[in-house]
Each structure stands twice: as C-alpha cells, then as structure tokens.
Amino acid sequence: MVHDELGAALVAAAAERADDDAERLLTYVRHETPTGDAAALDALADVLAADAATFGATARRLPLPHGDALLVEHPGAGERAGSAPALLLGHHDTVHPVGSVPVRVDGSRLTGPGAHDMKGGLVVVLAAWATLAATGAPARPARLLITPDEELGSPTGGPLVVQHADGAAFALGFESPHSDGALKTSRMGSTRWRVSVTGRAAHAALDPGRGVSAIDELVDQLIALRAVADEHPDVLVNVGILEGGGRTNVVPDAAHADVGLRFRDGAAEQAFLARLAILAPVRPSAVVTPSVVTRRPAWGPSPATDALLASVAAAGALVGQTITGRAATGAADTNLTGAAGLVSLDGFGPLGGGAHAASEHVLLPSIAERAALLAAVLATV
C-alpha cells in the first residue's frame, strides 16, 4: 500500500516509463562488454554518459587499463540539493564471452549477458533520476561510479571506489538482490589467490629425468591447498583457473592456478593466507610462488547498516514495498566502502536470476519497483 502523495507520484512515474526502461536495458545487454574488452566497455560508457545527461547528470571518463570507469554526478533537487551525496556503485563489465548468451525477451523476462549482473542495476539508477524529475520531488545529490573490472575483483576500479566514497553520506550498490528481493547488508571477503610453479623443461620420452613437471607440482600444491581448506571449513575455496604446459612430449616448466577464496572476516582471511604462504615444493627443484592477485576485504554487519536499512525500509513503505535485508556470500565493490567505514547497502538491482550463467535474466516489472524505491530513498533518506 502506497502511504502518501509523494509515494503515489513516484510509483506512477516509474511505472509510466517502464517500456522505455525495458528498451534501454535491451540496448545495454545487446552491447556486450566482457571484462578486458576496453573498446566495447568504452563504447558502452559513451552510451551511459549520453543517457545520464538526459536526466540532468554530468559524466566524465576516468581512464583505466581495462577500459575507462565512468563517474556520473547528479546535482539533486529542491531543498535536498545541498545534502551530502549518495555514492551509487555499479559496473559495466560482464563475465560472458561475446555471443555465449542469447538475448531474448519472453514476456516479462529479459535474458542476456549482464542483464542481472549488473546492467539492470544501471537502468534502475537512470530510471530513478527520471522518476524524480517527472514528479518534481526533492532529491539528495548522487555520484554514480561505474567500474570496468569489477568481475576481476576491481584491481584498478577499487581505488576509485574508495576515493569517491570520501564525503558521501552512504553507499548503495546496484548488484542483484537476494532471490526474494532482500537487500544485502554485509558481504564475505573475497581474495583471488594464485599459486605459480616453475619447473624445468625436458623431452618427455628421451630425457624425462632431467625435467621437473610444473603441472605435477601444481597438482600436489592444490592437494595441499585442499588440506588447508579442510582445516578451515568456514572458508569457501574454488579453483577457477588452471594453466600450464603446451605439448604432451615436453615436460612442462610452468603452470599456475587461480583460486577464489571467501572469508567471513579479516581474522579468518589472515589465518588462511598465512598457511598458504608457507607452502613448500614437493619436488626439490621446483619453485612455488604464492601471491594475492586481488582482494576485497570482508564487510561485516554493523548498527550503522541496520539504521540505514531501517531508513530505506521506511522509504520503501512510502512506495508500497516491504524492504528487508540480510548478509550475502558474494563480494562486490560495496565490500570496499563497507570495510572502509562508509555505511553501505547492496542489492538495489532488479529481481531476476542466473547471474554468470546462460540463464542470466531480469524480471522487467521489477525495474520500475526498484526505481521507485531508489527515488524514495534519494527523496527522503
């Protein structure tokens, strides 16, 4: 039930533009942007900047090696225009190789690469600004930071997140919500850890004894990793990449594995990485080098987050929505703001599912719902 005149106006304005927002998401999804494709990412950044300008925002590119980040700033409106800005966090890179996920619309369901993670969230932000403009509602200023390498762990975008958190009132992330629409109030830490092995090449048949197989050594190191993981059942471990060798008749002299690690808190992370740092070669002539590739610290629960959630829930009630929140296992750029002490919430993207899978999709009616929610938050929180 919508609770007042402002809430009713926001709901109506968001619903009125639903078709335009669905078309915008379809355009963004068709513009495929796998992580690392700087040209594709920069081209979509141009589209995003132009779209944001139509809703009263200004945008500037922040050059980065994997494609530029985009900083979009909205001045707010009315008596709230002088408030501290909200930091809105998004990204425009996806995990999908070009052409791997067909784009289609089946009734209220839009399937395609990055629809749920997280181009739908970017559409929500633009739709909320349009909704506020249509109603003449007061609005807190906002800075939307869109990074190009979030799916890699934000190795270059992360410092920008921390930089632009300065002076913000709070941070909102536009990743997908929980499956029931609940917001995300904390996140596990996420570290990408690499174990690299150097061996010695030799002919695999004529002189195998002179060789030191980097792949065999890597396998043994991964078995040792599994033993460490068994000692720490609260840590999530996923071996995501294995690379090495080149020919079956050559003893491989180099191999590595990239491992995703998830931690409940900083103490668990430190203890686990300390065990991995002392892994020793099984073969005397092999060289084993562990390293941290990227890191997002754990963002834990806090009374400040609970208070922000309560305020967001009150804003949700204005537009007839029941808003809840709980912890999440996945990591995102809100790990960086939350761990840095800026009160944060995530999961403001639209409902859907299948993130990182061929079934990735958004439920189109939820875009208007999330846009009305964000508009209410910017108008009242």
Give the per-residue pLDDT at 155. 93
Beta strands 142-147 and 189-198 are: unpaired
Are residues 342 and 271 located together in one domain of the fold? no
Q: Which amino acid is at 317?
A: A
Are residues 167 and 227 located together in one domain of the fold? no
Are residues 178 and 72 located together in one domain of the fold? yes
Among residues 296, 321, 346, which one ends one of the domains? 296
Are residues 155 and 28 located together in one domain of the fold? yes
Among residues 248, 276, 296, which one ends one of the domains? 296
CATH of the domain at 234: 3.30.70.360
Give the per-residue pLDDT at 2. 58
List all residues 6 or more positions away from 73 whose beta carbon is below 8 Å from its beta carbon: 57, 58, 59, 85, 141, 142, 143, 144
Q: The tokens of 110 are what?
A: 């839009």
3-state secondary structure of 80: helix
Give the per-residue pLDDT at 3. 65
Are residues 137 and 169 located together in one domain of the fold? yes
Domain that holds residue 68: 5-187+299-380
Centroid of chain to Cα 296: 11
- pLDDT, one tens digit for every residue, the chain (381 residues): 556 899 999 999 999 999 999 999 999 999 999 999 999 999 999 999 999 999 999 999 999 998 999 999 999 999 999 999 999 999 999 999 999 999 999 999 999 999 999 999 999 999 999 999 999 999 999 999 999 999 999 999 999 999 999 999 999 999 999 999 999 999 999 999 999 999 999 999 999 999 999 999 999 999 999 999 999 999 999 999 999 999 999 999 999 999 999 999 999 999 999 999 999 999 999 999 999 999 999 999 999 999 999 999 999 999 999 999 999 998 999 999 999 999 999 999 999 999 999 999 999 999 999 999 999 999 999
Residue 13 dihedral angles phi and psi, to the nearest 5°: -65, -40
Are residues 166 and 283 located together in one domain of the fold? no
Q: How many CB atoms lie within 10 A of CB 59?
A: 19
Would you tell me the crossing angle of helices 365-380 and 120-135 to the nearest 10 degrees?
Answer: 60
Are residues 216 and 352 located together in one domain of the fold? no
Are residues 229 and 166 located together in one domain of the fold? no
Q: Can you say whether the dihedral through the CA atoms of 221, 223, 229, 235 is positive or negative?
A: positive
- DSSP letter assigned to residue 118: I
CATH of the domain at 177: 3.40.630.10
- How many domains in the chain? 2
Angstrom CA distances, 162 to 193, 356, 373, stand at 22, 26, 25
Among residues 276, 296, 316, which one ends one of the domains? 296
Are residues 16 and 120 located together in one domain of the fold? yes
pTM for the structure as a whole: 0.92
Are residues 15 and 90 located together in one domain of the fold? yes
Are residues 59 and 175 located together in one domain of the fold? yes
The tally of CA atoms less than 13 A away on the side-chain side of residue 313 is: 15
Are residues 55 and 149 located together in one domain of the fold? yes
